[in-house]
Structure 1
Amino acid sequence: MSGYDDVPEWAPRTPPESGEFGIPYTFPGDPGATGATGAPGAPGADGGPSAPPGGAADGGFDYFAKPDRSSRPPGPAHAAAKRTRKRPRPSKRTGGIMLGPLAGAVVLVMLTGFAAYAFTSAADTCSGDDALTIDVATSPEISPAVVRAAKRFNDARNEVAGMCARASVRSADPAAVATLLSGKGVSGVTEQPDVWIPDSSLWSKLAEGSGRAGATAAVTELGGMASTPIVLAMPGSLATQLRNLGAPAQPSWKDLITAAGTAENAERGSGPAAEKSPIPSRLFRLQVPDPGKTATGMGTLMLANALLSDDPQGQAMFAGAVRTFREGVAASVTAQFAAFGEGTGDRYPIALTPEQAVFAHNAKRPTEIAAAVYPAEGTLYLDHPVSVLSGDAAKLSAGRLLFKELTSDATGEDVRRLGFRTPDGTAPAAFSERTGLSEAAPKGLTPPSAAEVEQIMQQWAKLSLSLRMLSIIDISGSMSEKIAPGLTRLQATIRTAQNGLSLLPDDSEAGEWVFSTHLKGEQDWREVVSVGPLGERLGSVTRRQALLSTFTRTTVKKNGDTGLYETVIAAFDDMKRTYKAEYINSVVLWTDGKNDDEDGPSLAETLKHIRDASDPQRPILIYMLGLGDGVDVGELRQIAKLTNGDALVAQTPGQIQSLFLKSLSDQACGSNC
């Protein structure tokens, strides 16, 4: 199935009763809402939910509360003063009644019967040797409209190459078809269709960019038949409260993603932009459909890459964004919306989702509808492209004739009734603030090329892998020097390590060493926390907690020198000995100087040891993060490059943070980033 396979689920199982489709649906918090005041979402006099308390009249943040969470412990500081709100009563339903503006979608889906789609009748003579049949594979959520278009096409008895042309339609997971077309194997779809209608051109670009033997070459792209932008969905009352806080109707992606950051110890931001943002840090828990299986998830990565491409720190920031997305991967779009009514700790669930899925969710008449947020910079559209995959000239001609029907006025009406926009951005009549959607089409960003799609998906695949990382911090005497007012080199390093640790999920492995000279007898390094799963318990605490506690207790060794080479050799050997193939295994060493341990190995001896001990089947990446002017970056880079790692030097606290994020990105992506 596609990333938003909601059509079979939101269609009613009983026919709607006649005369009941005029019930308006009220957007929570809308100034025009009617009905009794009280618990947010409670049914009003007209059958829709009334405005929640804390609206424009009340103002402020006091009523910014999650439903039915009185038994939960208090949340973070920004939620401490929220009033407890009662769980709203379910909205009334009668005989499968749906929203008035959405009734057409119900009828459309019922007419298609949710079945496999071949159209025959007693008078049908377009079959056998006299017929040219084209096999059409379509993304499930658009299939009702495709079925009806195919029926009109078949009824027209178009003639191609002396034969009558007909279409046979089947529903197919776009990811499975893309896997087949890319030559990467078989995943649920074994036969290539003649005409393919996935939910997004990203799939065809991914197949095209694979460059594998066996990939489909004969692809004729005809254009899109429907569109739906990727939006950020949230409970309607939450959207209302954000407006009350002063958030613009179209906030920036940066503010939204920052408010969904997973870094528990990350800086809350600095500078005028951060201070002016009305959205509290870590307010949201972001949910994203799996980028490896859905166009929505894939499009989210493309959005992040496009919005960060012009930033000097874009690569490192992209790595951080991917970590945030990885933490919030949802099983499906249905699961994303289900989380809106569940307790999620101290944060509010929001979802990156197609606009049409918001429509489909709201068509179920939930207790509280979802509101679509359209970020200011614009977004990517899922364009439902029609492509002919057959190299047969007759089937290509038949596909072009079918495309005319798929882009006809009748089909345009059908796709709008399903909650899609037509390719020109025209919205369904039901789209309004009262139904959580905007009639105006959001700005569309430039779609990525096939090469960009392939590269970004490679980054995702590698950044999604868990890291196994040994962090080593220099505690020699010079680490007590100031790198900024009130901040020593060691303090800046520890702050970055803390923030970086919070980017790693519990299934990552990490450990901590410190080094100087003679820390343990003649040994220049000392293990503080062994490498292992961050979620594993070490006595009464987890390894993550132990590392955080260790960071706060780390101090400089007065008059200590820098035993760099001995430490690097020991760390490389230890990580090779304990190597785990299912992880990216790496050493990240922080230092502000060059080796000055005269009793230890030389640079030449260090390079020879690592060169001789390296095993391509058990790679260990070494990253050297230098601080200040005393670093010999040339020496550090010689060591790191032997392992396909790198040496990076920072002069300011901000650069330290950026370079560490870059090292995380490089560890996962290697030469593909």
Structure 2
Amino acid sequence: MSGHDDVPEWAPRNLPESGGGPDAPYTFLGASYPGGVPSPGPAAEPPPGTAGERPFDPFEKPDRSPRSAGPAHAARPPRRPRPPKRIGGILLGPLAGAVGLVLLTGIGAWALTSAGDDCAGDDALTISVAAAPEIAPAVIRAARRFNDARHEVGDRCVRANVRSTDPAAVATLLSGKGVAGVTEKPDVWIPDSSLWIRLVEGSDRDGPAAGFTHVGGIASSPVVLAMPAGLAARLRNLGVPAQPSWKELLAAAGTAANAEQGPGAPGSVIPPRLFRLQVPDPQRTATGMSTLVLAASLLGGDPEGRARFTGAVRTFREGVTPSVAAEFAAFGQEAGDRQPIALAPEQAVFSHNAKRPAEIAVAVYPSEGTVFLDHPLTVLSDDPAKVSAGRLLGRELTSATAREDVGRLGFRTSDGGAPGTFSQQNGLAARAPKALPPAPAEQVTRIMQQWAQLSLSIRMLSIIDISGSMDRKIAPGASRLQSTIRTAQNGLSLLPDDSELGQWVFSTELEGGKDWRELVSVGPLNERLGSATRRQLVLSAFAQTRVKPNGGTGLYETTIAAFDHMKRTYKPEYVNSILLWTDGKNEDKDGPSLEETLDHIRRAYDPERPVLINMFGLGKGVDVGALRQIARLTNGDAYVAETPGQVQELFLKALSQRVCEPDC
């Protein structure tokens, strides 16, 4: 894009005005392209999931390529060139045109150039605008009208140069975290969501966030659950309401938030694990970030909210995709009996359907409400003249013409008003869903920190007590060992294949005088060990685990051995942790004492190579004090459960423990 042009190279130069009936095609121009719309030409690579397809632009000039010859358009013989005319013996033609321009120099040249260049000189006030790709076509059109109007600020002509820019790249620059494709701070920023602005404002970096001037949103799009029309029809036939709850939908997607209650959500008619939930990367997209904010908002009043949020994050992590386009590309690619559904902006559903797929997508609007992408205009410059210019541009972007433009792209107005094209026939509802309250900057920062921690792959050593007392009942029909194994099995299902896991058991004198025995070594769950994967071997080990009759609890020797093993094999790209399950207190009188155990861990613990210990006590005979002293030396904790449901809840709570490291 040149310094005198407010339209990037890929944008059409001659755009038709809005028009067409309800059947006129529309396109998806944003969420599919987090890095910007690709430039045309043979060198351009299509974004993931588009299979080289170029999206239709509702503002694009119709194709004017010559039609093939046919009966009505038969090729005509070429016209014979006309000889140049002579008037008074003077030859007219190309040469005459050149002579004419020379004669006009100094007389009419200003008139020829003033229309486009009188606001491009050194005295002009130029504001650079970075707009999110999906809204950029409408912003470009508004900027053209803005420039044509020749606004003035302090006797200076104002013009706007617009560039389609990934919001994540601008946020990275403003937060001082480096450069990700954007090297200069724009004067005006129009990301897809205010969450980016709050994330920058909540960062620790001083300076760039200071002086932000918030002008207001120019378009909105709620985050919805998108699914193929056939799946939506199946849910209706099952009796699922038009607006099911998020809890029902996430439970059917296999979220851990409801795992302790068995298959499906209570009272729900949606079959368990029916869906394969897809979420665009929260670190790269506002839609993914909004999903985390949504989960935190819905679980905020839950006493076990942190543990349940952990379970939701584990589910989201399993379905992370690089972009919204990749979500829709997966439709029709079933994984067993699980059908893919997508958390996506409503505008993306509109644009997907505008490309006339074989099966349209349907937007589901959950009953609790949702988060809206608001496409705010924010002036980043502290120059008063540029602030005034940004406000003037904001007026143009909220004009009736601009609202019509954003509607053609599939956006609602800033107050939630839907375009006239929204209907059940194209999978959308004209009535706006309930908007959940916006999250403050500090909460957005905290949520994204939690995601960064919780989405790290886990490297875990699980250790189960098989002493004789573990055979006691914790509930009718379930012993302490059975309840522990059932929880461990459920926990295993939450871990993606790139997690590393190992399984030990312990009692007293299990193997060669040691109080512990390794059943499965620590390593990737998807690694093949012989004819089976490690995940399969762990499940097989669970099925074969039995108590040692009359066995004692060799707690301290096992803890030291496990800690030393995990520290020795530490991997920095993982969260390295130990989960130890027991129903009692140390009973190995020949092993180390509590003081010796605490001293060993205190001296061996390395904050640069941290190994987190969490301990689970089952029943009333647990030495909670000793467990807690050991665990807290590593920023872990000890938990005690007396029912199977509490075991599951505490397991999730332990997984979320790293959220507050090192202060918890």
Alignment TM-score > 0.5, same fold: yes
1:163 paired residue number: 156
Could you tell me whether the CA contact under 8 Å between 1:459 and 1:672 is conserved in 2? Answer: no
1:559 paired residue number: 550
What's the secondary structure of 1:276's corresponding residue?
A: coil
2: CA distance between counterparts of 1:594 and 1:584? Answer: 27
Which digits, 9 at most, give the CA deviation of each residue in 1:406-464, with x for residues without a partner? 11111111111110000111101110111100000000001111111111101111111
CA pair 19-570 structure 1, distance change in 2 beyond 3 A: closer
1:198 paired residue number: 191
CA pair 510-351 structure 1, distance change in 2 beyond 3 A: same
Q: CA deviation at 1:546?
A: 0.5
The partner residue of 1:237 within 203, 215, 230 is: 230
Q: State the AA in 2 paired with 1:564.
A: L
Q: How does 1:245-324 map to 2 (within 5 A)?
A: 245-261=238-254, 269=262, 274-324=265-315
2: CA distance between counterparts of 1:630 and 1:301? Answer: 39
Q: CA deviation at 1:109?
A: 4.3
1:434 paired residue number: 425
1:657 paired residue number: 648
Q: How does 1:456-605 map to 2 (within 5 A)?
A: 456-605=447-596
Which digits, 9 at most, give the CA deviation of each residue in 1:487-531, with x for residues without a partner? 111111000000001111111111111111111242111111111
What's the secondary structure of 1:130's corresponding residue?
A: coil
**169-178 vs 121-130, which moves further:** 121-130
Could you tell me whether the CA contact under 8 Å between 1:262 and 1:502 is conserved in 2? Answer: no
Could you tell me whether the CA contact under 8 Å between 2:260 and 2:648 is conserved in 1? Answer: no
1: CA distance between counterparts of 2:562 and 2:207? Answer: 43
CA pair 156-22 structure 1, distance change in 2 beyond 3 A: closer
The number of aligned residues is: 578
CA pair 581-376 structure 1, distance change in 2 beyond 3 A: same
What's the secondary structure of 2:518's corresponding residue?
A: strand
Could you tell me whether the CA contact under 8 Å between 2:280 and 2:343 is conserved in 1? Answer: yes
Could you tell me whether the CA contact under 8 Å between 2:614 and 2:638 is conserved in 1? Answer: yes
What's the secondary structure of 1:140's corresponding residue?
A: coil
CA pair 492-392 structure 1, distance change in 2 beyond 3 A: same
What's the secondary structure of 2:661's corresponding residue?
A: helix
2: CA distance between counterparts of 1:15 and 1:367? Answer: 29
1: CA distance between counterparts of 2:454 and 2:114? Answer: 53
Task: Give the RMSD, CA atoms, in angstroms.
Answer: 2.6
Q: State the AA in 2 paired with 1:234.
A: M
The partner residue of 1:380 within 371, 379, 394 is: 371
Q: CA deviation at 1:108?
A: 2.4
**636-645 vs 375-384, which moves further:** 636-645
What's the secondary structure of 2:551's corresponding residue?
A: coil
What's the secondary structure of 2:265's corresponding residue?
A: helix
1:227 paired residue number: 220
1: CA distance between counterparts of 2:602 and 2:19? Answer: 80
1: CA distance between counterparts of 2:363 and 2:401? Answer: 27
TM-score (norm: length of structure 1): 0.82
Q: How does 1:407-446 map to 2 (within 5 A)?
A: 407-446=398-437
Structure 1, unmatched stretches of 5+, are 1-7, 26-95, 99-104, 114-119
1: CA distance between counterparts of 2:453 and 2:19? Answer: 55
2: CA distance between counterparts of 1:196 and 1:139? Answer: 8
1:630 paired residue number: 621
1:108 aligns with 2:59: yes
Q: State the AA in 2 paired with 1:533.
A: P
The partner residue of 1:349 within 323, 336, 340 is: 340
Which digits, 9 at most, give the CA deviation of each residue in 1:224-282, with x for residues without a partner? 00000000000112111111110000011111111111679956637xx8342111000
Q: CA deviation at 1:670?
A: 2.1
Could you tell me whether the CA contact under 8 Å between 2:299 and 2:305 is conserved in 1? Answer: yes
CA pair 370-265 structure 1, distance change in 2 beyond 3 A: closer
CA pair 381-15 structure 1, distance change in 2 beyond 3 A: closer
2: CA distance between counterparts of 1:527 and 1:591? Answer: 16
**224-233 vs 144-153, which moves further:** 144-153
1:66 paired residue number: none
Could you tell me whether the CA contact under 8 Å between 2:129 and 2:163 is conserved in 1? Answer: yes
2:143 paired residue number: 150
1:452 paired residue number: 443
Which digits, 9 at most, give the CA deviation of each residue in 1:301-353, with x for residues without a partner? 10011101111111111111111111111122111111113243221110000
Which digits, 9 at most, give the CA deviation of each residue in 1:618-645, with x for residues without a partner? 1111111111111121111111111111
Q: State the AA in 2 paired with 1:657.
A: Q
Could you tell me whether the CA contact under 8 Å between 1:621 and 1:640 is conserved in 2? Answer: yes
What's the secondary structure of 1:452's corresponding residue?
A: helix
Q: State the AA in 1 paired with 2:302.
A: D
Q: State the AA in 2 paired with 1:249.
A: A
2: CA distance between counterparts of 1:229 and 1:342? Answer: 25
What's the secondary structure of 2:526's corresponding residue?
A: coil
Q: How does 1:610-621 map to 2 (within 5 A)?
A: 610-621=601-612
Could you tell me whether the CA contact under 8 Å between 2:362 and 2:428 is conserved in 1? Answer: yes
2: CA distance between counterparts of 1:169 and 1:263? Answer: 44
**515-524 vs 654-663, which moves further:** 515-524
1:35 paired residue number: none
Which digits, 9 at most, give the CA deviation of each residue in 1:77-106, with x for residues without a partner? xxxxxxxxxxxxxxxxxxx9x9xxxxxx94
1: CA distance between counterparts of 2:282 and 2:463? Answer: 33
**274-283 vs 132-141, which moves further:** 274-283
In percent, how many aligned pairs have the same letter?
69
Q: State the AA in 2 paired with 1:551.
A: F
Q: CA deviation at 1:124?
A: 3.8
Q: State the AA in 1 paired with 2:237.
A: N
Structure whose CA Rg is larger:
2
2: CA distance between counterparts of 1:303 and 1:21? Answer: 36
Which digits, 9 at most, give the CA deviation of each residue in 1:521-575, with x for residues without a partner? 4211111111111111111111110100111111111111111011100111111
2: CA distance between counterparts of 1:262 and 1:553? Answer: 27
2: CA distance between counterparts of 1:344 and 1:479? Answer: 38
2: CA distance between counterparts of 1:229 and 1:610? Answer: 50
Q: CA deviation at 1:123?
A: 4.5
2: CA distance between counterparts of 1:152 and 1:265? Answer: 53
Q: CA deviation at 1:19?
A: 11
Q: CA deviation at 1:603?
A: 0.6
Could you tell me whether the CA contact under 8 Å between 2:255 and 2:311 is conserved in 1? Answer: no
CA pair 168-435 structure 1, distance change in 2 beyond 3 A: same
Could you tell me whether the CA contact under 8 Å between 2:333 and 2:339 is conserved in 1? Answer: no
Could you tell me whether the CA contact under 8 Å between 1:360 and 1:419 is conserved in 2? Answer: yes
Could you tell me whether the CA contact under 8 Å between 2:594 and 2:626 is conserved in 1? Answer: yes
Q: State the AA in 2 paired with 1:176.
A: A
CA pair 672-193 structure 1, distance change in 2 beyond 3 A: farther
2:600 paired residue number: 609
1:137 aligns with 2:138: no
Which digits, 9 at most, give the CA deviation of each residue in 1:604-627, with x for residues without a partner? 000011111112221111111111
Q: State the AA in 1 paired with 2:247.
A: K
